[in-house]
Amino acid sequence: MLTEVQGERLNNDTDPTNQAVSAGTELYHASKYGLYYLFCSVEADATGEKAVNVPFACEIMDVIVQARATSGSGTLTLKAGANAITDAIVCAVDTTITRAGTIDDAYSTLASGATVTVNANGANDRGYMTIVVRKV
């Protein structure tokens, strides 16, 4: 991630293209205000939860699940400790994409170095979770 000082260095670089397009400013703003993605692939029984490490302070904006198997009552839930951040997101029909219906704002802001977990409803639930975040 680019700092403001590094962005200014790019803007003042001897490369006229960087100067003309303010490349440093653009990269800095994308780094500071852009969306980032954290991922979790559930490929085995995750009823005991699977950890996702958070590399920087952020707020969860959306959660998307792609089912990777058919499992009748399959769901994945994103949690912070014992607290559910999302509702149980349907993960029941292979290849289907489902989004979080709710995100609890009491738990959706995460500290740098925090760990969240993905909890599966059943031992056969398989899916790929994309957690959409913005830096805070």
The confidence score (pLDDT) of residue 68 equals: 97
All residues at 6 or more sequence positions from 11 whose CB lies less than 8 Å from its CB, including other chains: 18, 19, 22, 23, 24, 25
CB 125 within 8 A of CB 82: no
CB 91 within 8 A of CB 99: no
pLDDT band of 4, cuts 50, 70, 90 = confident
Alpha-carbon span 26 to 22, nearest angstrom? 6
Q: Which domains does the chain have, with CATH numbers?
A: 4-33 (no CATH), 35-135 (2.60.120)
Q: What is the pLDDT of residues 46-99, one digit of tens each?
A: 999 999 999 999 999 999 999 999 999 999 999 999 999 999 999 999 999 999
